[in-house]
Amino acid sequence: MEQTVEQKLESLWALQEIHTKIDKIRQVRGELPIEVADLEDEIAGLETRLEKIRIELDDLEDSIVKRKNMIKEAEAAIKRYEGQLNEVKNNREYDAITKEIEIQGLEIQVCEKRIKEAEFEIKNKTEAYDKTQESLGYSKGELETKKKELDTITSETQIDEEALLNSADAASKKIEDRLLKVYSKLRESFRNGLAVVSIERDSCSGCHNKIPPQLQSEIRQRKKIIICEHCGRVLVDEMIASEEG
């Protein structure tokens, strides 16, 4: 059996009332769910950064060990070449060995320079690591606090919210699909989620613009669904609002 316009308006108002209660419960949680998600992303980013710095520090330590070994090899080569100098037979051999000693000396200088650079990088990266760890510790503490706060609020309101969601589901089934789609679209259009509003002090309670007397009269007759000419919300009269409220 098809609903009358009055019944449709009553059904819409009833659904709006339920959704408004759900919205109020969710407003109590406020920005906490977003803050928790942001902190979780931030912590993941900090942990990734720490791992990257750890790998870089390991590479730098390895490079220092490698350069020190190269210095030892160069020093051993110099000793070997210096020993050969006593056995040279001509200037050509002497120049060749001297050149090798010079090359090994330069190799040592380069290695020592690279070691100092690596040690400087290690110092900087260790400081960055410590600061990142500090930030991570702070963020983890913040996350724990926010999660506890959110869990407390959620546990306090969860039963009420679930009951209201079930009521909203039941109330939605009383409304024809076309009208329900309009209602849902309107709810998404406004930050406060109000798609159906009543007349209050001769005005739309959604946008607070004045409603002409003739239009108010038509709304009270409940012969057709009327929307506010300013905000586009569905309008109901005060009596429907008080009956359902």
Greatest alpha-carbon span in the chain: 125
Query: What pLDDT is recorded for position 28?
Result: 80
- Do 128 and 185 have their domain in common? no
Look up the pTM and report it.
0.59
- Do 152 and 235 have their domain in common? no
Q: What is the CATH number of the domain that holds 221?
A: 1.10.287.1490
- Do 109 and 220 have their domain in common? no
User: Domain containing 203: what range?
Assistant: 5-26+176-244
Query: What pLDDT is recorded for position 245?
Result: 44
Q: Is 235 a member of any domain? A: yes
Low-confidence ranges of the chain (pLDDT < 70): 1, 244-245
Query: What pLDDT is recorded for position 1?
Result: 60
Which residue from 231, 226, 232 is spatially nearest to 240, judged by alpha carbons? 226
- Do 11 and 93 have their domain in common? no
Asked if 26 and 102 touch (Cβ cutoff 8 Å), the reply is no
Query: What pLDDT is recorded for position 79?
Result: 95
How does DSSP assign 66-85, residue by residue? Answer: HHHHHHHHHHHHHHHHHHHH
Query: What pLDDT is recorded for position 31?
Result: 86
- Do 94 and 211 have their domain in common? no
Q: Beta 234-236 vs 226-227: how paired, if at all?
A: antiparallel
